[in-house]
């Protein structure tokens, strides 16, 4: 205990998702996902590619210290697919550790 606060720590496990879509709708979908006990940040981004550009979102999340650790990579892939479908997109990307995983439909 330090300065009246309790401390918990765990090995950092984090993921970032990048995909096109509406920021407000992405926040709604992330709120639904977070009912499973997660916390994420959602920020608007502009995706620029060879065919043009479009608004998108960057979602960041990590595992808080808790008694039962969950697999962020697996949860990230679940959230990625949930967002691709919910935002009506054809593709999205998960960044986790040294991996870049893109899902297409």
pLDDT digits (tens, 9 = 90+) for 22-34: 999 999 999 999 9
Flag whether 81 is in a domain. Answer: yes
Tell me which residue has tokens 């940040």: 41
Specify whether the CB–CB gap between 9 and 2 falls below 8 A.
no
Tell me the Ramachandran region of residue 71: left when phi exceeds 0, alpha when psi lies from -120 to 50, beta otherwise: beta
The pLDDT of 19-48, averaged and rounded, is 95
**Higher per-residue confidence, 17 vs 68:** 17
* Band of pLDDT at residue 2, cut at 50, 70 and 90: low
Indicate whether 68 pLDDT > 70: no
How many structural domains comprise the chain?
A: 1
Domain containing 39: what range? Answer: 19-104
- Please state, in angstroms and rounded to a whole number, the distance separating the CA atoms of residues 27 and 98: 26
Flag whether 3 is in a domain. Answer: no
Report pLDDT for 67: 57
* Band of pLDDT at residue 85, cut at 50, 70 and 90: very high
């Amino acid at each position: 205990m330090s300065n009246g606060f309790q401390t918990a720590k765990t090995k950092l496990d984090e993921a970032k998702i990048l995909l096109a879509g509406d920021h407000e709708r992405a926040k709604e979908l992330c709120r639904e996902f977070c009912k499973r006990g997660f916390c994420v940040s959602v920020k608007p981004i502009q995706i620029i590619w060879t065919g043009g550009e479009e608004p998108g979102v960057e979602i960041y999340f990590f595992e808080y210290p808790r008694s039962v650790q969950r697999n962020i990579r697996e949860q990230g892939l679940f959230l990625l697919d949930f967002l691709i479908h919910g935002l009506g997109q054809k593709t999205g990307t998960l960044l986790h550790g040294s991996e870049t995983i893109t899902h297409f439909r």
